[in-house]
Chains A and B, each alone.
Chain A
Amino acid sequence: MKMPLAFLPEQASTLARDVDMLYLFLIGVSMFFTILIGGLIIYFVIRYRRRSDADRPAPLHGNKLLEVVWTTIPLVLVMIMFFWGAAVFYKQFRPPADAMEILVTGKQWMWKMQHPSGRSEINDLHVPLGRPVKLTMTSEDVIHSFYIPAFRAKMDVVPGRYTSLWFEPTKEGSFHLFCAEYCGAEHSLMKGWVHVLPEDEYEEWARGEDPDLAELTPVEAGERLFTELGCLACHNPASGTMGPDMTGLYMSNVELDDGRTVVADEEYIRQSILEPMAKVTKGYQPIMPTYRGQLDETQLMQIIAYIRSLGTE
């Protein structure tokens, strides 16, 4: 049986230290109040025990000043906790614009990752040291949660929508990856390792062992799917106006036939592939068939990656 040597896990990302500082502050405040209140209780129990003939002050039924003081001090302290917590959370929630994107799909009971180079892996995640990485994640079935304790990073992985998680590793090595949201029988086996490699070793790893067998990048795979599924028949300016052009679609404002305007983000594109009738672009006939059941979540993400590669407005 191994003894735990520390009460903090390893700090292996840029934000780990920020979270730990806040945690230590909270421990400090908690210890202060636990000792203060615990000490007062013990003191009162001994000094005012029934058999003691210590002087007892005149009965005190309340004291406005005291009540104001012990309402205000905790209020100030919790507001410090709130703002400090919110500031770090803001950083945890917003990936830098230049972050490298890795696609993650969770399903009972495994994690599948695809790198920009095209290389995929299961339950292991190789990432470069010192570079921000953004995971775009979804689930094939139930809710999972992607959790790397050493990075102090966690985000639920939800079917039917995309969530993201980012980190910048600061330490080489292998770190635990857990599913943190209960997801059924083998929930506790839905785990793996995050391997942080120096940048050049990562690049080498990402190309694959045999360059001739290199997998398609997500964009290439998406383009191939786009062609194979016949999307080009309509979504191609050369073939007429059956469907809207995909060039410059990503993150543009799309006017719908019911008068609403929506932003063409990942969620919108995904929904338009699976439920084409939900949001029909103004000026087009609702004739697109659904692709539900024909594409898994990884393929959907690849198509979206391809559409994104066609530029933003």
Chain B
Amino acid sequence: MSAQAKQENYLNAKHTVASWLFSLDHKRIALLYLLTILLFFVLGGIAAMLFRVELLTPGPAVMESETYNRLFTMHGITMIFFFLIPSIPAVLGNFLLPIMLGAKDLAFPRLNLASWYVFTFGGLLGLGAIIFGGVDTGWTFYTPYSSTYANSQVILAALGIFIAGFASIMTGLNFIVTIHKMRAPGLTWFRLPLFVWSHYATSIIIILGTPVVAITILLVAIERIFEVGIFDPALGGDPVLFQHLFWFYSHPAVYIMILPGMGVISEIIACFSRKRIFGYPVVALSSLAIAILGFFVWGHHMFVSSQSMYAGMIFSILSFLVAIPSAIKVFNWVATMYGGSVKLDTPMLYALGFLGLFIIGGLTGLFLATMAVNVHVHDTYFVVAHFHYVMVGGMVMAFFGGLHFWWPKITGKLFPELLGRITVVIIFIGFNLTFFPQFIVGYLGMPRRYHIYPEEFQFLHVLSTAGASVLAIGYMLMAVYLLYSLVLGPKASRNPWKAAGLEWTTPSPPPTHNFSEPPVVKFEAYAYDEEEVYQDDAEPGDKGHG
């Protein structure tokens, strides 16, 4: 009897489809989210591959301009709204936050399940927009093109994004309440893992920002359907107003996407350096600083939009200031490795990859905050390269790093370590080959969203497409070995990385209620100098292994 009870976990507790679709368990909901967003990741990736092939030649090769425009829009919308924004929070955050806090679940399990349904419904509308002809406005929906001129499924896509936004808000609200009210005894704010801090900051941005983009998108739909003049000057509206409203959310949304990634990186670097994160309180508070400052920099997307020059200067100086907390984080991560005991397992390789790419992404952000340079590179491939370094080089590396780090905990299985390491290297090389040439072609003057381009830019585009192919091979290799691990992988122990943190004190995979008895926290999150914290073989309850 007791042996069987020991083996029961959240995965094998029940097997019916309904037990998944109506589960209130944050861990199962996290997996529902994982499957959903991976579907969108694949869709967005296919779109990218198709237009990368098209861009091999300067003239039209395999598609018309209309198709090309629909593909880059589909890529942007699916990747940003249906993959990146929910990626770490709704999957890893959902799975880990309650366990890291020593709680049984999130504060509102039903709201959590509802958020997945809302998100999926929004996603289906987005899919509908693609199936019924696509959208050709770019993910930025600039007016009056989107509200009056575009001849595509703008309303369906806008509605999808509007609805998916509510899922974000529900998740953010749930996280904030959970972090405030459900910490285990002894788990003070400054003992929290930085993963929790970064999710706290992210949730604040989500709650404050998402309603603004929801309203903005709704206004576009209202102008489109009822011809009420809001953004179109022909109807008496103001097209630049849209950009202010849109970037008021969409710039902070960059931090919604990157902050949870930074949280993952803190966990990984601490574990594989066997060290407390250097300057922990500074790193924790810098997440909040980014969340707050991030709301005051939206105008740096608009230096040449006809915004006043002096407004531009204020947005520029504030944009430089928001770079400082990010720089501090990078320095602290590097300092954490000083004097550590560094092991280059797969998750750590992802974290180092993140550092390398995020440094380049961050530094090129300074180029864009510099107004005179921005005038030249705005709306060119330089910008494309910059935000892919931050979003893909940063967030996607962090997401897969986190997925590998917690894979044994989530699935109870180990993945083939050597293949994991090889894959990181392939992804890192493929990524740089794809996006580094885009900095150069951008400064040379190649505008973004160009189907047909001057011949002299072809060589750099060919490099980029070659890189994208390498990147795709990397991702596919990962899919293969992770599926293999899921079915045939060796069973994972409770704490295979010997990491500190509450999630490693419970079995892999965790039982439905996370802990057999409510944990009492005696140490901070990164107590790598307290050996009893990170033992592996001991099952919870076996106290003898200290």
Contact = CB atoms under 8 A, between A and B. Distances in A.
Interface of A: 1-4, 6-9, 18-19, 22-23, 26, 29-30, 33-34, 37-38, 40-41, 44-45, 48-50, 56-63, 66-67, 70-71, 74-75, 78-79, 81-82, 84-90, 92-93, 108, 141-143, 145, 147, 149-150, 152-156, 158-161, 163, 176, 178-189, 275
Given A82-B370, A86-B371, 7 more contacts: A4-B460, A48-B337, A86-B313, A143-B145, A143-B239, A159-B239, A183-B145
A86 B367 contact: no
A183 B148 CA distance: 12
Interface string B124-137: 00000000000011
B452 A147 contact: no
B366 A156 contact: no
Contact of B280 (A40, A59, A62, A180): A62
A142 B280 contact: no
Given A2-B459, A60-B278, A156 B238 contact: no
B212 interface: no
B379 to A, nearest CB: 4
Contacts of B324: 71, 74-75, 78
Contacts of B236: 275
Contact of B331 (A6, A60, A70, A178): A70
Sorted nearest first, the 8 A-B pairs with minimum C-beta distance are A160-B233, A149-B445, A88-B372, A85-B370, A89-B371, A78-B320, A188-B450, A44-B337
Contact of B371 (A57, A85, A108): A85
Nearest to B307: A156
Contact of B443 (A7, A40, A56, A78): A7
Interface string B309-336: 1001100110011011001101100110
Interface stretch (B6-14, B84-92, B354-362): B354-362
B177 interface: no
Interface in B349-386: 352, 355-356, 359-360, 363-364, 366-367, 369-376, 378-380
B330 A67 contact: no
A38 B359 CA distance: 9
Interface in B198-240: 232-234, 236, 238-240
Interface in B37-80: 65-66, 69
Contact of B328 (A2, A61, A71, A155): A71
A4 B456 contact: yes
A159 B236 CA distance: 11
A160 B238 CA distance: 8
B443 A93 contact: no
B306 A156 contact: yes
Contact of B372 (A7, A18, A66, A181): A18
Contacts of B372: 18-19, 22, 84-89, 92, 152
B344 interface: yes
A45 B356 CA distance: 14
Given A34-B360, A184-B136, A41 B375 contact: no
Contact of A78 (B137, B323, B330, B376): B323
Given A37-B330, A178-B445, A67 B370 contact: no
A275 B233 CA distance: 11
Given A156-B304, A187-B69, A188-B451, A82 B138 contact: no
B378 A180 contact: yes
B142 A182 contact: yes
B306 A33 contact: no
Given A19-B376, A48-B341, A66-B335, A61 B370 contact: no
Interface in B447-480: 447-460, 462
A86 B448 CA distance: 25
A143 B232 CA distance: 10
A142 B147 CA distance: 10
Interface of B: 65-66, 69, 136-138, 140, 142-145, 148-150, 232-234, 236, 238-240, 273, 275-276, 278-282, 303-306, 309, 312-313, 316-317, 320-321, 323-324, 327-328, 330-331, 334-335, 337-344, 352, 355-356, 359-360, 363-364, 366-367, 369-376, 378-380, 440-441, 443-445, 447-460, 462, 529
A61 B280 contact: yes
Given A26-B367, A45-B337, A48-B337, A159 B234 contact: yes
Contact of B149 (A88, A142, A158): A142
Nearest to A26: B367
A92 to B, nearest CB: 6
Contacts of A63: 279
A26 B373 contact: yes
Given A22-B373, A26-B370, A49-B342, A187 B449 contact: yes
B440 A2 contact: no
Contacts, number: 273
Contacts of A86: 313, 316, 371-372
B342 A74 contact: no
B145 A184 contact: yes
A9 B445 CA distance: 7
A216 B343 CA distance: 77
A142 B306 CA distance: 14
Given A70-B328, A155-B304, A180-B380, A4 B440 contact: yes
Contact of A161 (B306, B363, B450): B306
Contact of A41 (B144, B240, B334, B460): B334
Given A179-B447, A184-B149, A37 B343 contact: no
Contacts of A183: 145
B335 A2 contact: no
A187 B341 CA distance: 54
A34 B445 contact: no
Contacts of B373: 19, 22-23, 26, 85
A81 B240 contact: no
27 contacts: A34-B363, A41-B337, A44-B340, A48-B273, A49-B343, A56-B340, A60-B339, A61-B279, A62-B279, A67-B279, A81-B366, A82-B320, A84-B372, A85-B371, A85-B372, A142-B144, A142-B148, A142-B239, A143-B143, A143-B144, A155-B304, A156-B305, A181-B379, A182-B448, A183-B145, A186-B65, A188-B447
Contacts of B148: 142
A111 B145 CA distance: 17
A6 to B, nearest CB: 8
B316 A2 contact: no
Contact of B379 (A9, A145, A152): A145
B304 A50 contact: no
Contacts of A155: 304, 306
B149 A147 contact: no
A59 B60 CA distance: 60
A149 B309 contact: no
Contact of B338 (A60, A108, A185): A60
